[in-house]
Amino acid sequence: MIETRPKNTHERALLIGLEKQGVSKWDLQDSLEELAELANSAGAEVVDTVTQKLQKPTAPYYIGKGKAEAIKDSFQDREVTSVIFDDELSPAQGRNLENLLARKVLDRTQLILDIFAQRARSREGRLQIELAQLQYLLPRLTRMWDHLSRQTGGIGTRGPGETQLEVDRRRVQERIARLERELEAVRKTRAVQRQGRKRHQWPVAAVVGYTNAGKSTLLNLLTGAAVVAENRLFATLDPTTRSFVLPNKQRVLLTDTVGFLRKLPHTLIESFKATLEEVGEADLLIHIVDLSHPRVDDQMEAVEGVIKELNAFGKQTVIVFNKLDNLANRELAETYTKRFPGSVAISARTGEGVNNLVQALQDALSAWRLRSRFRIPASESALIAEIHRVGHVLELHYEGEGALIVAHVPPELAQKLDRYAEQG
Calpha distance 221→236 (Å, rounded): 16
Instruction: Indicate if 83 and 46 belong to the same structural domain.
Output: yes
Q: Read out DSSP for 10-45?
A: -EEEEEEEEE-TT--HHHHHHHHHHHHHHHHHHTEE
% residues pLDDT > 90 (the chain): 21
Whichever domain contains 390, its CATH number is 3.30.70.240
Q: What is the pLDDT at residue 273?
A: 60
Cα-based distances in Å from 173 to 114, 271, 371:
21, 15, 48
Specify the amino acid at residue 212.
N
Residue 156 placed within a domain: no
For residues 183-191, average pLDDT: 76
- Average pLDDT in the 116-124 region? 73
Higher local confidence (pLDDT), 371 or 85: 85
Same domain, 205 and 315: yes
Domain contains 81:
yes
Whether 224 and 337 map to the same domain: the answer is yes
What local confidence, expressed as pLDDT, does residue 9 receive? Answer: 52
Distance CA 321, CA 3 (A): 36
356 pLDDT exceeds 70? Answer: yes
pLDDT of residue 336: 95
- For residues 89 and 52, membership in a common domain is answered with yes
Give the CA distances from residue 240 to residues 94, 195, 408, in Å, rounded to whole numbers and listed in that order: 36, 18, 24
Q: Is residue 1 part of a domain?
A: no
Q: Are 32 and 84 in contact (CB under 8 A)?
A: no
What's the average model confidence in pLDDT over 245-261? 79
pLDDT value of position 270 = 65
Pairing of β 392-399 and β 344-345: unpaired
Q: Give Cβ neighbours of residue 173 (< 8 Å, ≥ 6 apart).
A: 138
User: What is the structure's pLDDT at 199?
Assistant: 53
Least confident of 4-8, 230-234, 402-406: 4-8
Q: d(Cα 5, Cα 114) in Å, to the nearest integer?
A: 9
pLDDT of 149: 40
Say whether both 185 and 320 belong to one domain. no
Residue 20 and residue 45 share a domain: yes
Average pLDDT over residues 140-144: 63
- Of all residues in the chain, the percent with pLDDT exceeding 70 is 80
Report the domain count for the chain. Answer: 4
Closest Cα partner for 308 from 292, 285, 335? 285
Give the pTM. Answer: 0.69
Query: In the predicted model, is pLDDT for residue 332 greater than 90?
Result: yes
Residues 188 and 293 in one domain: no
Q: Are residues 255 and 360 in the same domain?
A: yes
Mean pLDDT of 170-190: 83
Write down the pLDDT at residue 6.
Answer: 42
pLDDT at position 319 is 95
Rg, C-alpha atoms of the chain: 25
Higher pLDDT, residue 267 or 108: 108
CATH code of residue 58 = 3.40.50.11060
Which of 21-25, 57-61, 127-131, 158-162: highest mean pLDDT? 57-61
Residue 155 lies in a domain: no
Higher model confidence: residue 324 or residue 41?
A: 324
- Are residues 318 and 236 located together in one domain of the fold? yes
The pLDDT tens digits of the residues spanning 12-32 come to: 899 999 988 877 777 788 888
Q: 58-105 pLDDT, tens per residue?
A: 999 999 999 999 999 888 777 889 999 999 899 899 989 999 998 889
Same domain, 104 and 170: no
Beta-carbon-side half-sphere exposure of residue 267 (alpha carbons within 13 Å): 20
- pLDDT at position 266 is 65
In a domain, 2, yes or no: no
Residues 362 and 223 in one domain: yes
- Domain range for residue 413? 370-422
Residue 7 has pLDDT above 60, yes or no: no
pLDDT surpasses 60 at 173: yes
Model pLDDT, residue 237: 52
Give the pLDDT confidence score for residue 346 in this predicted structure. Answer: 94
For residue 415, tell me if it sits in a domain: yes
Is 219 inside a domain boundary?
A: yes
Say if residue 233's pLDDT is above 70: no
In this prediction, residue 235 carries a pLDDT of 45
CA distance 104 to 220: 39
Residue 347 lies in a domain: yes
Residues 6 or more apart whose CB falls under 8 angstroms from that of 8 comprise none
pLDDT at 284 (0 to 100): 87
402-408 and 344-345: which strand pairing? unpaired
Is the pLDDT at 198 greater than 90? The verdict is: no
Q: Are residues 44 and 57 in the same domain?
A: yes
